[in-house]
């Protein structure tokens, strides 16, 4: 059975870049990887618009079906560049419709690891697909709240480029099916041992990392 890893997060938070970098890095170590791209993004590109409220359920279920089809090919690792939970979150945020959460959270239980993207990357416009930087913190808060309500653990990853990839790979070492096939972890340096005073407060973390990145 494939090990499943989900990447979740607000728009322009680096989900796709990290999923692609992870897939490439792990494949280079002989690990077979299936990367499932975000269906909602492709739907919007194909339709030339964002979905209506009545279309959200079908998109969420089609995304789950695509993930199941990738898993049926029995890779060592399945990387999901978002899951139906993101559709549920946007349905909640944009339409006040929380009906998709039960399905999305039940699906989310099939993942061995959930990585939530930190809000430390600069926002980049992408046509109709992105609403603006003002929605990042609310989306991030809804993602975390949904996972926490369901008792589903997650890890937040920060950094740019190689730094973010290294932190994601560190999280993968928790998974017995992968740890033995990954390079040994270096000991963290003294400067790397720090704790965030924000305690998973998304808005606080966003302010903190914007200050750090401006230095």
For the stretch 100-153, pLDDT in tens is 999 999 999 999 999 999 999 887 776 655 567 788 999 999 999 999 999 999
- 85-103: per-residue pLDDT in tens? 999 999 999 999 999 999 9
User: How much is the pLDDT for 185?
Assistant: 58
Give the residue extent of every domain in the chain. Answer: 3-213
The 3-state DSSP class for residue 42 equals: helix
Name the DSSP class of 124: -
Residue scoring higher pLDDT (40 or 214): 40
Residues 6 or more apart in contact with residue 63 via CB below 8 angstroms: 36, 38, 39, 40, 82, 83, 84, 87
Mean pLDDT of 174-186: 74
Residue 17 has pLDDT above 70, yes or no: yes
Q: What percent of the chain has pLDDT over 90?
A: 61
Gap between the Cα atoms of 162 and 120, Å rounded: 14
Tell me the pTM. Answer: 0.83
Write down the architecture of domain 3-213 according to CATH.
Answer: 3-Layer(aba) Sandwich (3.40)
Mean pLDDT of the chain: 85
Residue 187 has pLDDT above 90, yes or no: no
Gap between the Cα atoms of 75 and 143, Å rounded: 27
């Amino acid at each position: 059975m494939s090990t499943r890893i989900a990447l979740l997060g607000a728009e322009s938070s680096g989900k796709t870049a990290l999923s692609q970098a992870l897939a490439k890095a792990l494949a280079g170590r002989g690990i077979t990887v299936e990367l499932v791209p975000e269906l909602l993004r492709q739907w919007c590109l194909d339709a030339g618009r964002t979905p209506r409220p009545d279309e959200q359920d079908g998109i969420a279920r089609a995304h789950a079906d695509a993930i199941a089809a990738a898993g049926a090919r029995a890779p060592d690792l399945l990387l999901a560049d978002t899951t139906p939970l993101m559709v549920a979150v946007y349905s909640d945020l944009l339409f006040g419709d929380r009906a998709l959460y039960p399905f999305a959270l039940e699906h989310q239980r099939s993942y061995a690891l959930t990585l939530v993207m930190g809000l430390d990357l600069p926002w980049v416009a992408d046509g109709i697909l992105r609403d603006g930087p003002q929605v990042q913190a609310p989306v991030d808060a809804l993602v975390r709240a949904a996972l926490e309500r369901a008792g589903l653990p997650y890890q937040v990853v920060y950094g740019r480029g190689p730094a973010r990839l290294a932190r994601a790979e560190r999280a993968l070492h928790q998974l017995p099916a992968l740890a033995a096939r990954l390079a040994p972890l270096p000991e963290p340096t003294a400067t790397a041992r720090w704790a965030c005073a924000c305690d998973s407060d998304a808005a606080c973390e966003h302010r903190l990392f914007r200050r750090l990145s401006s230095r």
